[in-house]
Amino acid sequence: MSPLAASIIKEFKVLSRDKTGLFLMFLMPLALALLMTVLQNSAFKIVNENKVDLMLVNNDSNSLFFQNFRRGLEQTGMFNLSIHAGNSADSKFSEDKASIVLVTIPKVYAFVLNQEIESKAEQALQLFGMLDSVSEREKLALKNLELSFDPVLQESYRYSIKSTVISVVMAIQNEMLLRQLFYNVNQFQPDSTALAKILPNPLLLSESLLKENSVVNPNATQHNIPAWTVFAMFFTVISLGGNIVREKRSGSFLRIKTLPVSITHLLIAKQVVFLMVTVLQTFVLFSIGAFLFPILQLPPLIISSGFLLLFLATFSCGLCAVSYALCIGVYSNTVEQANGFGAASVVILAAVGGIFVPLFAMPEVFKLFANISPFSWAMKAYYKAILEISSVHKLLLNVLPLLLLTAILQLIAFIGLKRKNLL
């Protein structure tokens, strides 16, 4: 048996004796991924899903306008409608946690709107020279439709909803105006078929991504499973740094110099073992996301690009994590230093790198700082593998920074070992 293989087997035996540590290596990221997915699922739905829960309140007695307005909102395909009548709409809205938008039709809205349409039609015919004068009628002030939002909605999202509601109202008004003009000229109402021929078709837009295979915003599962997998990789391998410190302080490195096994073999063996642990962590967490989360009524984890790209992303991230832990172990003088600095730095890098808050939801300033964090590049690589039908060379654009950082960390660790005369 080669010295390297013997060292790897030895490190496996040492790690397997720590049953509590092994349990926490897999339980901690699983608990975090499950908890954060449940908590963030609703927020991700608001951002990513097409349909918005909208409560429609009708305080008007005119059922025709209400039915047309309701049908128009449904045809947009943007809303999940719930209907409510009565003055207690506000309290009902506050109790209904599903609804985030409230639209209220005020009293006599349709009657006043119809009066205004009749007046506009007569004015138009007068301008065309088809009517001598406009009949005088008592005008009532047209009240606005009331649009209320849940405070959770961002301003840009509110604007899109507002624009959609306005477009529906304008379509109804245009149809009413056309009907009134037709009636004033012909003295009878047009049938639906004739009106459909006159009314313009809605403006249709073709929709596509700006770039082929562009990354779309992930759902709660697609973000949290890779996010807490990466976090677990870096956080759990911190124990590798403490392990190296203990062997330095115990004199193991000096004793190894008298044995056929070199310190290089020992360090490689430690990294190989912890790298295999990170791969196993990824397999467990991704399997739970794919098979357990749908049972819990959470979005399933779907891997678009296959397992090869997923493995490359996992291997690169795991290698970077163990290299970082190696550096901490080489330069730390005590186990407390290694564990304390390791834990604190991992949390900071995770926050900057988009683990706690997705990169697409972060302010622009923080997105710039995210580029210095290996967590950011790891998340981009996982997004590439999960959300896109991608290829190896496209994945390399996100993997290469991780590999470059790994090489730098290995070099820094090597220099530290040389300076401390451990090699």
Query: What's the confidence (pLDDT) of residue 42?
Result: 63
The whole-number pLDDT of residue 412 equals 94
pLDDT of 253 reads 64
CA atoms of 130 and 185, how far apart (whole Å): 8
Cα separation of 346 and 243, whole Å?
17
Residue range 236-290, pLDDT digits in tens: 777 888 888 887 777 766 666 666 667 787 888 888 988 998 999 899 999 999 8
Of 126, 116, 98, 250, the C-alpha closest to 173 is 116
Spatial separation of the C-alpha atoms in residues 151 and 101, rounded to whole Å: 10
SS3 58: strand
Residues in CB range of 392: below 8 A, 6 or more apart: 308, 309, 312
> The dihedral of CA 404, 406, 408, 414: what is its sign?
negative
pLDDT at 213: 47
Q: Residue 115: how many CB atoms within 10 A of its CB?
A: 16
Give the pLDDT of residue 210.
44
What pLDDT score was predicted for residue 302? 84
SS3 category, 97: coil
Contact partners, residue 294, CB within 8 Å, separation at least 6: 300
Asked whether the CA dihedral 318, 278, 374, 37 is positive or negative, the reply is positive
Which residue has 């009749």 as its token pair?
118
**Whole-angstrom distance, CA of residue 107 vs CA of residue 75:** 25
SS3 category, 54: strand
Distance CA 399, CA 416 (A): 26
**Full-prediction pTM beyond 0.75?**
no
Structural domains of the chain, with CATH: 3-45+213-419 (no CATH), 50-198 (3.40.1710)
The pLDDT score that the predictor gives to residue 319 is 94
| β-strands 146-149, 101-105 pairing | antiparallel
Identify the pLDDT of residue 315. Answer: 94
Burial group, residue 77, by CB count within 10 angstroms (0-12, 13-18, 19+): exposed
Provide the residue-wise pLDDT of the chain in tens; the chain has 423 residues: 677 777 788 777 777 777 776 777 778 888 888 888 877 776 665 555 557 788 888 888 777 888 888 988 888 888 888 887 655 555 555 555 566 788 888 888 888 888 888 888 888 887 877 777 777 666 677 788 888 887 767 677 788 888 888 888 888 888 888 888 878 877 777 766 666 666 666 555 555 544 444 445 677 888 889 998 999 888 877 788 888 888 777 776 666 666 666 778 788 888 898 899 899 989 999 999 989 888 988 888 888 777 888 899 999 999 999 999 999 988 988 888 888 888 899 989 988 888 887 776 677 777 778 888 999 999 988 988 888 766 788 888 889 999 999 999 999 999 988 888 776
Distance CA 412, CA 409 (A): 5
Long-range contacts formed by 5-11: CB under 8 A, 24+ apart: 6/261, 7/261, 7/265, 7/266, 7/268, 7/269, 8/269, 8/272, 8/273, 10/269, 11/269, 11/270, 11/272, 11/273
Q: Which residue has the tokens 């920074």?
A: 401
Paired sense of beta strands 101-105 and 52-58, if any: parallel
Tell me what pLDDT residue 50 has. 56
